Amino acid sequence: MGRKAPRGPPKKEPQTLPEGCKELESLLEEARLANEVATATVDSINQVHSKLKSKASLNHKNRTKLKDLYGQSLNETETEINALKAALEKIERLKSIRGNKRSHVANAINPDHLGLSTPNSPKKTTLRRGLLMKLLEETASALPLWLSEGPAPPLCGSVPAASNYIVPPGGLVAAKVKHSAGEGEEEESENWILAECVSYNSSSGKYEVDDIDEENKERHSNLSKRRVVPLPLYKADPLRHPDAIFPREACVMALYPQTTCFYRAVVHEQPTKVHEEYRVRFEDSSYSSSGGFSPPLNVPPCYIVQVREEPSSSASVSSGSSRRR
């Protein structure tokens, strides 16, 4: 019969990365062995079917054998799935231990993690532009995949947050904020930026957020819920939850590559596999020859959200401030 999952008392949660990585290796080995067992059973099923091709009917003996093999295969597949789920959960806990969890992307970085520290280095440092972009890429790739059955929950892929959802401190959001006039600009501008939630005042219904961009580090207060859009907490599987994937030609707000600003865009291509990105065309009047839209650009699913306002009032790339450069 199928290989049973090991049972026993729950293990104490590791406090260090080496301990956690060792447990992860063990879980991955369990998943590998479960896969070998399940694959062998599937091979046996295929062999039985091959032998039956030359026979006109299925006798009782072969019918019983196939029934047992299929039941065994289902149990072994379930064991493999559980092992993989346990490994994914362990990875999430390791990310938390490492202090590089997406909800703390602005504050958790330190020179030791990047191999840049010296004996006298402070624990936290202002990020250079290149390091910030690298960290944002890592955050996107580390977004956990929603594995449960049934409909995708709020904040999984394109599914928006519930109307009563409050972004917790440290949560990443797209926030519409005002910026003082910069060099060559006559008046202040408004942009949708990548920000980290600092707090929410339940009495006033207003958020306080921090700009994620260290070069433009600024705290913005008194932002209504209308001006704050939480980013997805889970990645959607296009095959398992296609309803949680933005359709082609959908109007969205997407993070422009190598920037920390969101701009209005249209979905050009959807991801068809878990690790694929969207290809979107940003609204940009400088591309007049192509209808006012940029060529398709790749954007990770976690940096694409629904448009919160009327398209006519959302920012386009060409109308954005100098932050995008």
- Return d(Cα 318, Cα 321) in angstroms, integer: 8
- Write down the pLDDT at residue 316: 65
- Write down the pLDDT at residue 169: 92
DSSP letter string over 286-300? T-GGGTSBPPPEEE-
Chunked mean pLDDT (size 10), the chain, 325 residues: 45 64 87 91 88 74 87 91 84 64 43 41 56 87 85 95 94 88 66 94 94 75 93 93 96 95 96 94 88 94 85 55 48
- Write down the pLDDT at residue 133: 87
What type of residue is 160?
A: P
- Write down the pLDDT at residue 119: 44
- Write down the pLDDT at residue 111: 38
Q: Where are the beta strands (DSSP E) in 24-88?
A: none
Neighbours of 324 (CB within 10 A): 16
- Write down the pLDDT at residue 61: 83
Residue 134: phi and psi, rounded to 5, are: -65, -40
pLDDT digits (tens, 9 = 90+) for 9-37: 445 554 577 788 888 888 889 989 999 99
Let me know the angle formed at the C-alpha of 166 by 242 and 98, rounded to the nearest 5 degrees: 75
pLDDT digits (tens, 9 = 90+) for 198-255: 999 999 999 999 998 866 667 788 899 999 999 999 999 999 999 999 999 999 999 9
- Return d(Cα 32, Cα 2) in angstroms, integer: 14
Total number of residues shown for the chain: 325
Q: Which residues contact 185 (CB under 8 A, 6 or more apart)?
A: 321, 322
